[in-house]
Structure 1
Amino acid sequence: MPIQRQTQVDYEVLCYELGVTVEELLELVKKKDIHLSKKLSSVSLNQVIDEYNDNLARLRSTGRRSESTLNTYRNFLKRVKDYVLTHYPDLQINEFNENTILEILEKSQPRKSETLAANTLNKYMAIMRSMLGYAFESGYTDKDLKYKLPIQTDTSLPRYLNDEQVEKVLKGALQKTYGYRKRAMLIFLLGTGCRVSELTNLKLEDFNMDENIIFIRKGKGNKERYVPIFKEVKNAITQYLKISGVTEWKPGLNGYLFSQDEGHVREKKVLDRSVQYLVRGLFDDIGLGKNYTVHSFRHTFAVNCLKFGMKESYLMQILGHEDPHTTAKYTKLFPADLKEEIMKGYPFPFEKLLNELI
């Protein structure tokens, strides 16, 4: 039996204040319901995707979304749209149900992937949830379907490389075409903990030689931060720049730090996917499975920082973590006695670490 809810609204008084009769008010509500019903039944899923993409572009123009986020969302939604056009060309947004959503999630993954890792699935879920939330708020659906997509829990520990694996990967990179650039990029990832999208977007002007810091502009979550550049990383980068045509460091250089074209102009940046493809090949060469990715360099940096005594609060700032629990997961990789030593925060000999690895 439905619960009866009483309101405090006196509709006769309301109609009097609005200057309409009760019958006119009821007719207005009825027309609104008819209009909403027509709206719900006449909007295709692909139309909503197009409008949602336009909304993302507006958010990007106001600085509320990063270019990296925009590209990630658009690439995934393009695969969704292509799949829908092939299999459900007439699918209306209000006909979209949980089973269809999960089917599209499964089928809209990159071609080369065999299975989706929990983090990747969660990323796709988040995009779909955001798009479905937009559809509901825009009045295109009569219920908010985003709550049908739960976030998956991944309890696995971060995958990081040991010293021997790092050495093999760096040697392998040097054997590739433009090996000096590829090795320098991997040393940078290893020695800064930066994300691959942050590496590919770095400009020469972001590299402060005098202060030994790198400015990370608009990283994950559209946030900015500074990252220290330790001696051995700096040496590797400056050596790469000399080989690639930056023979003299001058203020005002604004090309990409890691660029496909060489010299001082450097307008053509290295693509994220190129770095990912490089790392995947190097990992395959030394027998590391699919659960190792380019992000494993970031994990390796974090683990080594903790091994050599960096406080979690400092590491959290360098990595750009907002949630302390994200950083704390790395301590689970050590036995209790080593964790106790880490928390004491003894001096951090990063140059010694890099000398050993590089």
Structure 2
Amino acid sequence: MSIKIQTNLDYEAFCEELGLTLEELLHIVNNKDKHLSPPQTIVPLVQVIDEYVNNIKKLEKLNRRSETTLSTYLNFLERVKAFVNKNQPNLSVSELNEDIIYELLDDSTPRKNEKLSPNTVNKYMAIVRSVLKYALLRGYTEKDLRNKFTLGTISTLPRYLNDLQAKEVLNRALQKTYGYRKRAMLLFLLGTGCRVSELTNLKVCDFIVDENLIFIRKGKGNKERYIPIFNKVKTTVLNYLKMSGVEKWSPDIKGYLFSPDEGLEREKKVLDRSVQYLVRGLFDSMGLGKDYTVHTFRHTFAVNCLKNGIREEILMQMLGHEDPKTTAIYTKLKSQDLKEEVMKYYPFPFEELLKDMI
């Protein structure tokens, strides 16, 4: 009698992660003995990359990766292909190593004396490891080669703005062309903690004024959530809408909230890269380094929430995090802020004890 084996594994999600279709996964399982035997031919790396890219493109609609992440994958793998075709066109997937990737990164860095951040290097190594995982599952390699590409352990402080910096960046945004829109976008980011892609995909009808809620329709992993509207954000956005031709908010307005279009139609949306370019220019003018990006507004929101008593599990839901460890990053304060927070409670009993001892 056959025994039915049940599992809670989400096969669709598993296939998405590997860049495979369900049919291809079944083919691999049905031919597992062939997979365990050495490959009959040497498979060029560029061929594996092409197959991997084609698979993740086919699964694009179902993929849990955001548009930005998917674009990063595709752009980096195109750079790898170009580099390999130029220098070692016959390189096999088994011959790929860290030295080749580091050589590629050194060769393609815009400024030769500018080092890539550990986070960026980790991101590229993770992409390479995903390709090698695909190669292993397709039987193109005998061994799991992912351990050849190490991911560094990184402990970073959140890059957030203090109150004066936040005020300055908003004032500078207001001086720009269409400054009323640009300032409203940045204040929205500061007051909601939204990702830039969530901001640009927001519709007027998602800004639910009657219930003081914001519907985030396209978060990371295409997950939806609601977040509260703080009064300052609500006032700012409603004023912006009036200035851009929407006298009164209505749930019937289906156009984009932040749009270069004026009036009720609002068919075009502000692009992610436009917001990123705006923020980079503002931060450069303020003397803030490259570590400060559009994501800094999200960090600033999170740190301020925690400093003002919002519990981590609540903040986790507001930010759309799945892992509490991700939210916990925001509990780390800059040294000056840490000192100020601690000194609020000065003198502590230990300080009094030290006085007695002295």
**TM-score, normalised on structure 2?**
0.77
The answer for the alignment partner of 1:147 in structure 2 is: 147
Contact 2:200–2:258, Cα closer than 8 Å, also in 1: yes
What are the Cα deviations for residues 109-151 of structure 1, in whole angstroms up to 9, with x where unaligned?
5779933222222222222211221122112223222222222
Could you tell me how far apart the structure 1 residues matched to 2:97 and 2:294 are? 35
Could you tell me how far apart the structure 2 residues matched to 1:82 and 1:259 are? 37
Contact 1:56–1:65, Cα closer than 8 Å, also in 2: no
Distance 1:339 1:315, change over 3 A: farther
Distance 1:117 1:217, change over 3 A: farther
Deviates more, 1:153-162 or 1:197-206: 197-206
Aligned-residue RMSD, C-alpha: 2.8
The answer for the alignment partner of 2:173 in structure 1 is: 173
The answer for the alignment partner of 1:74 in structure 2 is: 74
What are the Cα deviations for residues 292-338 of structure 1, in whole angstroms up to 9, with x where unaligned?
11111111111111221111111111112222222223223154994
Contact 1:196–1:295, Cα closer than 8 Å, also in 2: yes
Could you tell me how far apart the structure 2 residues matched to 1:301 and 1:179 are? 22
Could you tell me how far apart the structure 2 residues matched to 1:320 and 1:110 are? 34
Amino acid at match of 2:220: K
Could you tell me how far apart the structure 1 residues matched to 2:338 and 2:169 are? 27
Residue 76 of structure 2 is aligned to residue 37 of structure 1: no
Could you tell me how far apart the structure 1 residues matched to 2:113 and 2:173 are? 23
The answer for the alignment partner of 2:6 in structure 1 is: none
Could you tell me how far apart the structure 2 residues matched to 1:326 and 1:122 are? 16
By how many angstroms is 1:340 displaced? 12
List, as ranges, runs of 4+ consecutive aligned residues in structure 1 with deviation greater than 6 Å.
Answer: 110-113, 339-342
Distance 1:292 1:62, change over 3 A: closer
By how many angstroms is 1:185 displaced? 0.9
What are the Cα deviations for residues 197-253 of structure 1, in whole angstroms up to 9, with x where unaligned?
221222223221211222222322332221211111111112222222333433332
Could you tell me how far apart the structure 2 residues matched to 1:106 and 1:205 are? 46
Could you tell me how far apart the structure 1 residues matched to 2:100 and 2:170 are? 44
Distance 1:167 1:33, change over 3 A: closer
Could you tell me how far apart the structure 1 residues matched to 2:105 and 2:221 are? 23
Instruction: List aligned pairs for 1:198-347, cutoff 5 A.
Output: 198-333=198-333, 335=338, 338=341
Distance 1:189 1:205, change over 3 A: same
Could you tell me how far apart the structure 2 residues matched to 1:327 and 1:282 are? 27
Instruction: Please list every run of 5 or more consecutive structure 2 residues that lacks an aligned counterpart in the other structure.
Output: 1-32, 346-358
Instruction: Please list every run of 5 or more consecutive structure 1 residues that lacks an aligned counterpart in the other structure.
Output: 1-28, 343-358
Could you tell me how far apart the structure 1 residues matched to 2:343 and 2:317 are? 21
Contact 1:200–1:272, Cα closer than 8 Å, also in 2: yes
Contact 2:65–2:220, Cα closer than 8 Å, also in 1: no
Distance 1:341 1:54, change over 3 A: farther
The answer for the alignment partner of 2:10 in structure 1 is: none
Deviates more, 1:53-62 or 1:191-200: 53-62
**TM-score, normalised on structure 1?**
0.77
Could you tell me how far apart the structure 2 residues matched to 1:221 and 1:115 are? 30
Deviates more, 1:105-114 or 1:216-225: 105-114
Query: Identity rate of aligned residues, in percent?
Result: 63
Aligned to 1:125, the other structure's residue is in SS state: helix
The answer for the alignment partner of 2:353 in structure 1 is: none
Aligned to 2:332, the other structure's residue is in SS state: helix
